[in-house]
Amino acid sequence: MGSYILRRLIVTVPMALIVITLTWGLIRLAPGNFYMSDKALPAAVERNIKEKYGLHKRWYEQYGRIMLSVLCGDFGTSLKYEGQSVNEILWRTLPVSATLGLLAYALALIVGIFAGTLAALKQNHWPDYAAMTLAMLGMSVPNFVLGPLLVLIFSLTLFWLPPARWGGTPSWNLVLPVITLAAVYVSYIARLARVELLEVLRSDYIRTARAKGLSERRIIVRHALPGALLPVVSFTGPALAFLITGAVVVERIFALPGLGNYFINANLNRDEPLIIGIVAFISLTVLIFNLLVDIAYAYLDPRIRLQTQIVNRG
Amino acid sequence: MPDGQSTQGKESKRRRLFANASPGARAWRRLAKNKLAVMGLALSCIIALASLVGPEIIERTTGYTYEYMPRDPQLMKSFAPFTGPDNSFSWQHPMGTDNMGRDLLVRVLMGGQISLMVGVVSATVSLLIGVSYGATAGYVGGHIDGVMMRIVDVLYAIPYMIIVIVLLKFFGGSSFFSGYGLAAGGSELILLFVALGAVSWLTMARIVRGQVMSLKHREFVLAARATGVSTPKIIFKHVVPNTLGPVIVYATLTVPQVMLQESFLSFLGLGVQAPLASWGSLSAEGIRNIAIYPWQLIFPGMTMALTLFSLNFLGDGLRDALDPQTRKF
């Protein structure tokens, strides 16, 4: 187990550095500069700006400086939000995005597993068809269509919920963004849970449990579900990467001051330190979560550990 | 197996249906029995056809194009569906108009052209990369396979869209590609094709690798090797054609995924640029006016949802028909 974690860690750290390098390279290769505006700057001003941001140095010196700042966890000062360090912005926006993401994922897990279980137990009956059609709908309606439609119905027509903006953690403002963000994952998890449960229900150990005369409820809850839900656990990793993409859109729609919204603004403003900071932060989070999920999975499912051992020996 | 007359009748009917049929014909019949998949196929065909020929027909009959603006400033505003200038019923604009008085139906159909093109071309790019990569890894095997698949594992963990956003923002401006004879907006389209194709080939590579691994010890491969066929030729001429079933299934499912990603990017103002429009950028325009002119979002958004819905059902049906073993996910 220890060596498994170590091996995964060895892959994870360079990966984060590669993502940051790629982002840095894209920004560097792109035509133009962040300080260029419509009219040309006087040469002296340009020289001063270059000196201030270290742009007069060779590319490897600049790269080294960026990497050093990333390793130190200090991303410098934002170009657009004057006087604010990137770290300040990260720490201010993180709670917004994290709350949104965690609530959406929790909602997706609860509703998805419930719907998937229901569909599997009533396979080829109307609850199954209804749940799977809804799931397909959830996968097909883009969140930037779903969100505004919910706003149109619940805020602008019925006046039940606020349409946008952040109102602290326990607030009605969260309801619509969380539902919008969760819709896709509810669908994915419901489909996944259904298929896995159907497969498990056909397996030998469930037949044994039935033969022992256990109640159907006990068979499902104690025997079938834990096995069927393992793949749902492993979906957490990819889901996080999707959640971040989704959060970018949802934060934009609902004007929430989260990481995603700032990331888009940083791109539009060409706020290079902020872009690098957010990319570094997001990719590290995603990679660490993937690592944790893999470890949890290996812990929960002994077959994985066995498999890696066999692969290593063979 | 339950007993009874009807089951026997069904069984013999089934046998008649599937007797002497090639695997392809059998798969086709299985698909044809799946009502939802057939509906999906029909709907996607209708939407694709409408997007392809619709704008032309509308232009010939009414003169509206996706950038046509009325001369009269009185008409340069958003009309509701089926509403004429004096609030009377009119067939002129079945989906209404946008803020500039442009016909929304033509714009949605033109947007469909772009969205579908991005979906199909990017899915093809991802298909080419994924199949070559997966087939090579699976066929060569050993340490090379180990390294190649570990790379895929690692790439899975990257939040791509973040990088794609940076890529499109910084290289999207036509300045970088100008001089290559591209029309306005063309550089974004090419970037979109490549960027979205390059980030969605991972699952395809995994699927193809699994298939190739199970195929490579079969007799026909041995025979090809014994007669001295080169390795690349064995991979692409003998092994890959046999993985076609799962590849078709997954490629069908990639199209809606890529379209969704394109619409995200266009929604954020990074994908398709004006004067071109895609369903994503049309929806983004519509969202700004949602409180007053909801049809500006509802029509492009719902057309897109309907298309993705039918493509997803088609993909699911194809999976059941061509590749019953793969998990439904």
pLDDT for B63 equals 67
Contacts of A263 in chain B (CB under 8 A): 162, 165
CA A28 to CA A275: how far, in whole Å?
Answer: 12
- Residue B38 pLDDT greater than 50, yes or no: yes
CB contact under 8 A, B280 and A19: no
Residue A64: beta bridge partners? Answer: none
Which of the 8 DSSP states describes residue B20? T
pLDDT for B324 equals 57
Output the six-digit token pair for B226.
């014994």
Contact by Cβ (8 Å): B174, B182: yes
Indicate if the alpha-carbon torsion angle B146, B151, B154, B157 is positive or negative.
negative
The pTM (predicted TM-score) of the whole model is 0.79
How many CB atoms are located within 10 Å of the residue B289 CB? Answer: 15
Share the mean pLDDT of chain B.
76
CB contact under 8 A, B175 and A31: yes
Which of the 8 DSSP states describes residue A310? H
With cut-offs at 50, 70 and 90, classify the pLDDT of residue B17.
low
Residue B326's identity, in one-letter code, is: T
- Residue B180 pLDDT greater than 70, yes or no: no
With cut-offs at 50, 70 and 90, classify the pLDDT of residue B329.
very low
CA A209 to CA A219: how far, in whole Å?
Answer: 7
CA B115 to chain centre: 8
Among all chains, which residue has been given the structure tokens 């619940």?
A154
Task: Count the residues in chain A.
Answer: 314
CA A115 to CA A135: how far, in whole Å?
Answer: 9
| Radius of gyration of chain B, Cα coordinates, nearest whole angstrom | 24
CA A277 to CA A19: how far, in whole Å?
Answer: 12
Residue A130 Cα, gap to closest chain B Cα (Å): 13
Residue B91 Cα, gap to closest chain A Cα (Å): 26
Residue A84 Cα, gap to closest chain B Cα (Å): 22
Model pLDDT for residues B206-217, shown as the tens digit of each residue: 888 888 888 888
Contacts of A195 in chain B (CB under 8 A): 327-329
- Residue B274 pLDDT greater than 60, yes or no: yes
**Higher model confidence: residue B90 or residue B231?**
B231
Model pLDDT for residues B122-140, shown as the tens digit of each residue: 888 888 898 889 888 888 8
Closest partner CB to B165 (pick from A32, A142, A267): A267
CA A66 to CA B32: how far, in whole Å?
Answer: 58
Output the six-digit token pair for B283.
């929806």
Model pLDDT for residues B281-312, shown as the tens digit of each residue: 888 888 777 777 777 788 888 888 889 889 88
pLDDT for A31 equals 67
CA B107 to CA B307: how far, in whole Å?
Answer: 16
Model pLDDT for residues A161-194, shown as the tens digit of each residue: 777 667 666 777 787 888 888 888 888 888 888 8
Closest chain B residue to A232 measured between Cα atoms? Answer: B329
Q: What integer is the mean pLDDT of A77-100?
A: 82
Residues 6+ apart with CB under 8 A from B259: B115, B116, B118, B119, B279, B304, B307, B308, B311
State the angle between helix axes of B279-288 and B244-267 in degrees (0 to 180), rounded to the nearest 10: 30
pLDDT for B179 equals 46
| Region for A93 from its dihedrals, namely left if φ exceeds 0, alpha if ψ lies in -120 to 50, beta otherwise | alpha
CB contact under 8 A, B327 and A195: yes
Contact by Cβ (8 Å): A107, A178: yes
CA B69 to chain centre: 31
Output the six-digit token pair for A24.
């840095």
Residue A172's identity, in one-letter code, is: W
Closest partner CB to A27 (pick from B146, B170, B263): B170
- Residue B181 pLDDT greater than 50, yes or no: no
Q: Tell me how many residue pairs between chain A and chain B have CB atoms under 8 A apart.
A: 145
- Residue B92 pLDDT greater than 80, yes or no: no
CA A22 to CA A15: how far, in whole Å?
Answer: 11
Closest chain A residue to B327 measured between Cα atoms? Answer: A195
Residue A214 Cα, gap to closest chain B Cα (Å): 25
Concatenating the DSSP letter of every residue in B206-227 gives HHHHHHHHHHTTSHHHHHHHHT
Q: What is the ipTM of this complex?
A: 0.76
pLDDT for B74 equals 67
